[in-house]
A and B are shown apart, each in its own frame.
Chain A
Amino acid sequence: MSRPIDAGAVEAHAYRSRWDDGLFDLFVGLSLLWIGACWIWIESFAGLAGVLPAVFVAPFITFRTRFIEDLSGYVRFSVERRRWERRNLAALLTFGIGTFIGGIAMYFAVQGNGLSAVAERAVPGLVAWLLAIPVLIVAVTAMLPRLFVYAGVLIAGGFVAAGYETNPGVPLMIAGVLVTAWGIVLLGRFTRKYPKPVAA
């Protein structure tokens, strides 16, 4: 029996396919590797390591949009979808700014008093948990299961780091390698699927 047209499913599929190029995964993966490496090898710069990826978000979005439109074509989604995207982007920005301000406030707060024993044990996992939140926000925005997996890897990595008292950069490096590798796979698939633009 023929199924009726499910416009919502068609739209959701079209929207999800806009994230199949792997560029976002590469951006996240390389950012995690960068932040993780800073925590491990340039400890004095660790707290500010996240600023660099944040600065590159806007140029990355512009580059990605052009790259995708060149190969897979231009599409403008519905007003509702764009509103939903803007709302989640605002949440992402609010979280980023909040984390930055919170981090600075915490730094000054613990200068004199130090951390409690429980908080100190959680520190190795804290960075991974914090970075899992923006990944979760994008996962909800893009409705992509693999981004939930990335966030899950970060959260689990945070617990392992806290349990074994490793450097906070270790779970980031592990997640970064996995996400970057998957991004390369997706980018390879994407460029094979859309080798060159179609002429009208």
Chain B
Amino acid sequence: MTRPDDSLDRVIHEPARLRLMTLLFVVDEADFTYLSNQTGLTAGNLSTHMAKLENAGYVAVDKSFAGRRPRTVYRLTDNGRNALVAYRAAMDDMLGRIDPSN
């Protein structure tokens, strides 16, 4: 028997990664500094979460230089975009069964 939460993507379900995915969903691309500042995650935490999203094929990484400083830019892949849309649909479906009057 499948449990209702089996349809939730656990890579996205983690709050920090959900925030990162949502941020990348609404912009074209953003670098490490921007994501760290917007989410309040430390460099170490952010690196770990971004690596998980990259391994899942949800984000693409581009390493370059801005002047003399290295810059790591992330953008959501089509796969990641579809996964977030599917995650939202699954959450809507799950929460839609809750009757607030009960």
Contact = CB atoms under 8 A, between A and B. Distances in A.
Interface of A: 1-2, 4-5, 7-8, 10-11, 14, 17, 69, 72-79, 193-194, 197-200
Contact of B26 (A11, A69, A198): A11
A10 B84 CA distance: 14
Nearest to B30: A75
Closest CB pairs A-B (n = 8): A73-B34, A73-B33, A11-B26, A200-B32, A200-B72, A74-B31, A75-B30, A76-B28
Contact of B91 (A4, A11, A74, A198): A4
A197 B25 contact: no
Contact of B34 (A8, A10, A72): A72
A52 B24 CA distance: 39
Nearest to A72: B37
Contacts of A72: 33-34, 37
A74 B100 contact: no
A4 B88 contact: yes
B27 A198 contact: no
A14 B43 CA distance: 20
Nearest to A79: B28
A198 B29 contact: no
Contacts of A11: 26-27
Interface residues of B, number: 32
B91 A2 contact: yes
Contacts of B38: 14, 17, 73
B22 interface: yes
26 contacts: A2-B91, A5-B84, A7-B25, A11-B27, A14-B26, A14-B38, A17-B38, A69-B66, A72-B33, A72-B34, A72-B37, A73-B33, A73-B36, A74-B34, A74-B73, A75-B27, A75-B34, A76-B28, A77-B27, A78-B26, A78-B28, A193-B37, A197-B69, A198-B43, A200-B33, A200-B47
Contacts of A8: 26
B70 interface: yes
A7 B22 contact: yes
A5 B70 contact: no
A193 B32 CA distance: 16
Given A72-B34, A75-B34, 10 more contacts: A4-B91, A7-B25, A73-B32, A73-B37, A75-B29, A77-B27, A78-B28, A199-B32, A200-B32, A200-B71
B68 to A, nearest CB: 12
Contacts of B8: none
Interface in B1-32: 18, 22-23, 25-32
Contacts of B98: 1
A1 B95 contact: yes
B71 A74 contact: yes
